[in-house]
Chains A and B, each alone.
Chain A
Amino acid sequence: MQSLEIKDLHISIGDKPIVNGLSLTVNRGEVHAIMGPNGTGKSTLAKAIAGHPDYTITSGDVLVDGASILEMEPDERARAGVFLAFQYPSEIPGVSIANFIRAALQSRLPEGEELEATKYYKNLYAKMDALKIDRKFTSRSVNEGFSGGEKKRCEILQMAMLEPTYAIMDETDSGLDIDAMKVVAEGVNALRGPKLGILLITHYQRLLDYIVPDYVHVMWDGRIVKSGDKSLALELEAKGYDWVKKELAAV
């Protein structure tokens, strides 16, 4: 069972239910896109899976390769292979990207084992070259004073270094111009492969021109109301979300 399984998930913020019975299975090697209008619970889903303390899972389950992660702390979920590329990544003043990623990798080693510095930098520079990121980048403090594009590239670099098995990408295209979006999409495409399952969350179809998904799901009012292949995204683009709304009303 090499998959991220979301089973009939209900999520609340405080007393307010946001996600109302969402089920979805992302196998390794697949790219799924969740599309939907603002306020439908897409980002809530992403943060709740990662274990953000503000979101309460009231029922349902999330399984990573068959094991539930709901009792785990956010860091344990991360080490179990779940990566969240943030829509608004936090700034960490005074901590360089290189040191941050190093600490993240160190946290995955058993107690008493030290990450080997030379190997680490070799690996880091190789990944940066592959993602066409300037080497000076990693001495800057994490996200501090970054442009939208730089923040997203920083997320992709972390993803490349931490090698998760499941990546949830929350509005990775938001705030990016078309050139920046192409660069980020190239990065994600480079990481695609049989060992990684990707859940792309997006409001717009345009990202899916560059990262072509295997499956597209439409989210509405806290649940998935329609699923299909990449053509669904184009249909949605052409007809707008009102089309889904009307269809739902007809049922």
Chain B
Amino acid sequence: MNPLSDNDTTIADEAAANPVAGIDQEVGNFQYDVKYDFDAGSGLSEDTVNFISQVKKEPEWIREFRLKALKVFESKPLPTHWATKDLENIDFNKIRYYLSQGQRSKRSWDDVPDDIKKTFERLGIPEQERKFLAGVEAQFDSEAAYSNIKEAVSKQGVIFMSSTEALMEHPEIFRKWFGKVIPTGDNKFSALNSAVFSGGSFIYIPPGVKVSHPLQAYFRINAENFGQFERTLIIADEGAEVTYMEGCTAPKFSTATLHSAVVELVAMKGAKIQYITVQNWSANVFNLVTKRGLAHEDATIKWIDCNIGSRLTMKYPGVVLKGERARGEVLSIALANDGQHQDTGAKMIHAANNTTSNIIAKSISVGQGRSTYRGLVHIPKHLKGCKSNTECDALLINTNSRTDTYPAITVKGDRNSIQHEASVSKISEDMIFYMQQRGLSEAEAMSLAVNGFVNDLVREFPMEYSVELKRLIDLEMEGSVG
């Protein structure tokens, strides 16, 4: 575990000469040379875990938690009996599990090291913060480089910091909920995250506090052969409300990069959490994320999940509807371009009477792109008055595209109401010709058709994000034509 200091090769140049086939993601496709003071090296062992725990100066219980998780990770096979065999192409020995310049994030952009600051400036983060956010956390590889919250918001007792810091500064809240919604052994990748997690956000909203502007985190992968394992925990206390948004990018590398996060949400009685993701990973990223929320009585948890880019995404945000009248929602958009596989969906576990779940999933497959929807809705026999609605719509952009739907709905009782609808549509040559006849180029026509397809979902998004999403779709379509 020697701190590595010779990271001066210009990987970005190599990547430019070796572009991963597929998509145009020029927004995030740049890299600056960064010297890392802390580097766990390549490969994963107990030494790796001890190194991470040591540089973070963590309490013993966390180190033990990590080591136990490592054993679980090692004992679990890859889920290739139901998931794609492409997972076997992840070489866990080649991945670098921890890279940072330090463990404390800065409260002012002026204090953020220049090479990291210019990355976030180029991505427009400080500007967005000024315009419409209540707080921002910016993670660069393993640790948050910057995190800040507007004074008015922190005065209300809202806590927003990286989870690395939170477990030291607020152990009483952190420990109570950490790993409770998603246990270590939930799946192989939640176990991996539990062993090597670093960064991610920790948010606590006190009872009755409604945060009017969104809190945002931005996750940036900069290094090649790197694994980012952030861990996010959001707790909205009774009657509290919060919207959290996350954005992700990485440069295009010719080698595989791994992003494996765990996100746990807890909405106490009457609380509302809205969690919005717009990911724009480059086409070499394996994005294997576990996200779940626990909704108590009268609480609402809403996941808005936009998956654009990556080589393989496996992500099924879920809500456990634990209290009566709790409500869970997943609205998702997945765009699989050439060479990409979006394996996404939702899980709704009804565990109390009169709970409601709503899933609307839209997928777009372009070229050789592949979209898979996996849904799980569970309503046990003893419950009554539960409602669940699932809608999955798939759009195919040429005959090579592939889409699969695996909805699993288990409803044991007869006192509940369930709806399920699925559709598959195509953008026909005639539709494109019609639009071209009005003057739109083929790429513009494709973009407009795709934007039309997701339009009713996008209306649910905050303005800034619907504009961003439209722009990303335009870029993707430009790259997919001709």
| B-binding residues in A (CB < 8 A) | 50-54, 73-75, 77-79, 83-84, 86, 89-95, 99-101, 103-105, 107-108, 141, 158, 162
Q: Are B431 and A90 in contact (CB under 8 A)?
A: yes
Of A51, A86, A92, A107, the contact of B439 (CB 8 Å cutoff): A107
A105 contacts which chain B residues (CB < 8 A)?
439
Asked whether, in the complex, the Cβ of A90 is within 8 Å of the Cβ of B453, the reply is no
- Nearest-neighbour CB distance to chain A for B138, whole angstroms, equals 31
Q: Compute how far the CA of A185 lies from the CA of B333 in the bound complex, rounded to whole angstroms.
A: 43
Q: What residues on B are CB-neighbors of A73 within 8 Å?
A: 436, 441-442
Once A52-B433, A53-B433, A107-B444 are accepted as A-B contacts, the answer to whether A93 and B438 lie under 8 Å apart by CB is no
A98 to B444, CA, bound (A): 16
Contact of A158 among B438, B452, B453 (CB under 8 A): B438
| With A90-B428, A90-B430 as contacts: A95 and B440 at CB distance below 8 Å | no
**B449 part of interface (Cβ distance < 8 Å):** yes
User: Other CB < 8 Å A-B pairs besides A51-B436, A93-B452, 12 of them?
Assistant: A53-B433, A75-B438, A75-B440, A78-B436, A90-B430, A90-B431, A92-B449, A93-B453, A94-B452, A100-B438, A104-B438, A107-B444
Contact partner of A75 (CB less than 8 A), chosen from B428, B442, B449, B454, is B442
Contact of B444 among A51, A53, A93, A103 (CB under 8 A): A103
Q: How far is the CA of A74 from the CA of B425 in the complex (A)?
A: 24
Contact indicator A95/B438 (Cβ below 8 Å): no
Given the complex, which residues of A lie within 8 Å of B456, measured CB to CB?
94
- With beta carbons under 8 angstroms apart, the residue of B429, B440, B453 that contacts A107 is B440
Inter-chain CB contacts under 8 Å: number: 84
Residue of A nearest to B429 (CB): A53
CA–CA, A90 to B438, complex, Å?
A: 12
CB pair B449–A78 under 8 Å, yes or no, is no
B398 interface residue (CB < 8 Å to A)? no
**Which residues of chain A come closer than 8 Å to B445, judged between CB atoms?**
75
With A78-B437, A79-B439 already in contact, the answer to whether A94 and B455 are too (CB < 8 A) is: yes
Task: Select which of A74, A94, A141 is within 8 A of B437 by beta carbon.
Answer: A74
Question: Are B455 and A104 in touch, CB under 8 angstroms?
Answer: no
B231 to chain A, nearest CB (A): 37
Instruction: Write the nearest CB–CB distance from B180 to chain A, whole angstroms.
Output: 40
**Do B431 and A92 touch (CB < 8 A)?**
yes
Distance (Å) between the CB of B184 and the closest chain A CB? 42
| A107 B441 Cβ-Cβ under 8 A | yes
B434 within 8 A of partner (CB): yes
A92, A141, A158 — most chain B CB neighbours (10 Å)? A92
Which residues of chain A are within 8 angstroms of B440 by Cβ–Cβ distance?
A: 75, 103-104, 107
A103 to B440, CA, bound (A): 7
Which 10 pairs of residues, A with B, have the shortest CB-CB distance? A94-B452, A94-B455, A95-B452, A104-B438, A74-B436, A90-B434, A107-B439, A75-B436, A78-B439, A90-B431
* Cα distance, A92 to B430, chains bound together (Å): 11
Nearest to B458 among chain A residues (CB) is A94
* B433-A74 in contact (CB<8A): yes
Distance (whole angstroms) from the CB of B47 to the closest CB of chain A: 53
Chain A contacts of B439 at CB under 8 A?
75, 78-79, 104-105, 107-108, 162
* Minimum CB–CB distance for B17 against chain A, Å: 28
Q: Which residue of B lies closest to A104 (CB)?
A: B438
Q: How far is the CA of A53 from the CA of B437 in the complex (A)?
A: 12
A103–B441 CA distance with the chains assembled, in angstroms: 10
For A89, give its contact among B434, B436, B444, B452 (CB under 8 Å): B434
Question: How far is it, in angstroms, between the C-alpha of A144 and the C-alpha of B430 when the chains are bound?
Answer: 15
Given contacts A92-B452, A95-B449, A95-B452, whether A78 and B438 have CB atoms under 8 Å apart is yes
Q: Please measure, in the bound complex, the distance between the C-alpha atom of A100 and the C-alpha atom of B453, giving whole angstroms.
A: 14
- Which residues on A sit within 8 Å (CB–CB) of B436? 51, 73-75, 78
Please tell me which one of the listed residues B428, B429, B434, B452 contacts residue A86 in the complex, with CB atoms under 8 A apart.
B434
- A69, chain B: closest CB distance, angstroms: 13
Q: Mark B436-474 against chain A: 1 for CB-CB distance below 8 A, else 0.
A: 111111101100110111111000000000000000000
Beta-carbon contact of B433 and A92 below 8 Å: no
